[in-house]
């Protein structure tokens, strides 16, 4: 056995314990860092070949591992743009140079331009779903992603394109006089109004007239002031009801179910009347109409699927972006980067991008942050263990050095 080998082995042991102390100190320093993932130093032996009568001491090797898949506890906040992933997946973020990374640090706030950025300055990425657009997800890459910007949601005007109506027509109403078998300002049984919006957000009031033209048959027309929008009495505006026991006063199978026209100054518009009934009750009309007038953003809501909606001062909610989530086959092998982010590599496998709640990805919790997964008690225990290990290795080094002094002094 070589005395130099004893000293080299002691040095390798001290280096290994130093590495362990480095990861422990890093963990302790980041015990309160949002989304931080604990690092650990694992030891493995390096054995040298020895003869039958001699033993050549080897060394110890260290490997640093990251507990990236180990989730931290959630802490709840009052900010809707604070986000946490419940389950698998990482937020996709971008640095100032346009490089994409993955992270679990979801403390996002709008910057001076409205981009959602976390405390390390990384911008949150997602898909634009304004005006009903479908997210263009590239499953194996970051294509189609853009920075989520809450300022883009301000002062938006959306034209009305559809209304869903829940109405009841009074079966006891008298039939209107012939030959005016059409509903209108001068000839109707029941009347109501609804507000729609044109292409630039102006409110357009539409009057809906219903005239009972025969038993269980009604003509429904839509006017804008004195202007008829639905084209006059026709089969398309004549609605019939099935009042048999099986029909239950709902629209007959052969009856039209919608009214289609164009909002003045706006877009093509469809009224869904499939839920309309004629049962023994008074006239009732409720309509849910899309579209909105321009309005400033009051707050931002983010649901469990990552849909970012602007809540306007007039109460309208506008879905504008959908947060992207991503994962890799082996997350614990990703490369940690500055700013509590990770980048995929050959060991981790290629990135897979998707949406929350789909393809094995988790859901998004708004108003919450993921704590560091560091256990302070365990880290302090490991620190003491590494300190003692370092001291023991220094003793073996010192012993080897002392024995070498003895050998050198044999000449005297």
Q: What is the pLDDT of residue 51?
A: 62
Measured in Å, how far apart are the chain's first and last C-alpha atoms?
24
- The residue among 292, 323, 340 that closes a domain is 292
| Confidence class for position 179, pLDDT limits 50, 70, 90 | low
Q: Give the residue-averaged pLDDT of 369-395.
A: 91
* Same-domain pairing of 308 and 377: no
The range of the structural domain enclosing residue 33 comes to 3-67+373-410
Return the higher-pLDDT residue of 272 and 156: 272
| pTM, rounded to two decimals | 0.67
Residues 268 and 337 in one domain: no
Select from 292, 322, 351 the last residue of a domain.
292
Please tell me the number of Cα atoms within 13 Å of 338 on its side-chain side.
3
- Tally of domains in the chain: 3
Task: Identify the pLDDT of residue 221.
Answer: 93
- Assess whether 84 and 147 both reside in one domain: yes
| pLDDT single digits (tens) 329-359 | 999 999 999 999 999 999 999 999 999 999 8
Q: Is the model's pLDDT at 371 over the cut of 90?
A: yes
C-alpha span between 125 and 116 (Å, rounded): 9
Are 219 and 342 in a shared domain? Answer: no
- Say whether both 275 and 394 belong to one domain: no
Q: Are residues 263 and 313 in the same domain?
A: no
Which two three-digit tokens encode residue 113?
């331009």
pLDDT, one tens digit per residue, over 120-166 is: 999 999 999 887 788 888 888 898 899 999 877 666 678 999 999 99
User: Is the pLDDT score of 178 beyond 60?
Assistant: no
């Amino acid at each position: 056995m070589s005395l130099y080998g004893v000293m080299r082995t002691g040095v390798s042991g001290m280096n290994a314990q130093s590495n362990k102390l480095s990861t422990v100190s890093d963990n302790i320093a980041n015990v309160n860092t949002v989304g931080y993932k604990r690092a650990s130093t694992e030891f493995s032996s390096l054995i040298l070949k020895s003869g039958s009568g001699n033993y050549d001491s080897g060394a110890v090797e260290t490997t640093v591992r990251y507990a990236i898949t180990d989730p931290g506890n959630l802490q709840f906040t009052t900010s809707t743009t604070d986000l946490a992933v419940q389950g698998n997946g990482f937020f996709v973020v971008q640095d100032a140079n346009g490089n994409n990374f993955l992270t679990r640090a979801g403390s996002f706030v709008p910057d001076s331009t409205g981009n959602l950025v976390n405390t390390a300055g990384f911008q949150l990425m997602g898909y634009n779903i304004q005006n009903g657009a479908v997210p263009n997800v590239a499953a194996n890459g970051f294509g189609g992603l853009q920075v989520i910007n809450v300022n883009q949601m301000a002062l938006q005007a959306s034209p009305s394109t559809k209304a869903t109506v829940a109405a009841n027509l009074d079966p006891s109403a008298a039939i209107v006089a012939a030959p005016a078998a059409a509903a209108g300002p001068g000839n109707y049984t029941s009347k109501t109004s609804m507000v729609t919006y044109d292409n630039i957000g102006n409110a357009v009031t539409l009057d809906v007239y219903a005239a009972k033209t025969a038993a269980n048959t009604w003509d429904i027309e839509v006017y804008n002031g004195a202007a008829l929008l639905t084209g006059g009495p026709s089969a398309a505006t004549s609605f019939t009801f099935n009042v048999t026991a099986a029909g239950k006063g709902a629209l007959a199978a052969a009856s039209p179910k919608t009214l289609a026209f164009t909002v003045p100054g706006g877009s093509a518009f469809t009224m869904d009347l499939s839920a309309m009934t004629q049962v023994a009750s008074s006239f009732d009309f409720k309509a849910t109409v899309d579209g909105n007038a321009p309005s400033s953003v009051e707050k931002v809501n983010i649901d469990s699927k990552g849909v970012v909606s602007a809540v306007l001062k007039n109460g309208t909610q506008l879905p504008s972006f959908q947060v992207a989530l991503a994962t890799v086959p082996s997350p614990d092998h990703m490369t940690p980067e500055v700013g509590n982010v990770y980048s995929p590599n050959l060991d981790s496998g290629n990135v897979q991008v998707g949406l929350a709640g789909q393809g094995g990805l988790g859901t998004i919790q708004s108003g919450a942050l993921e704590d560091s997964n560091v256990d302070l008690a365990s880290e302090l225990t490991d620190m003491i263990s590494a300190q003692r290990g370092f001291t023991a290795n220094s003793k073996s080094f010192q012993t080897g050095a002392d024995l070498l002094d003895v050998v050198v002094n044999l000449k005297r």
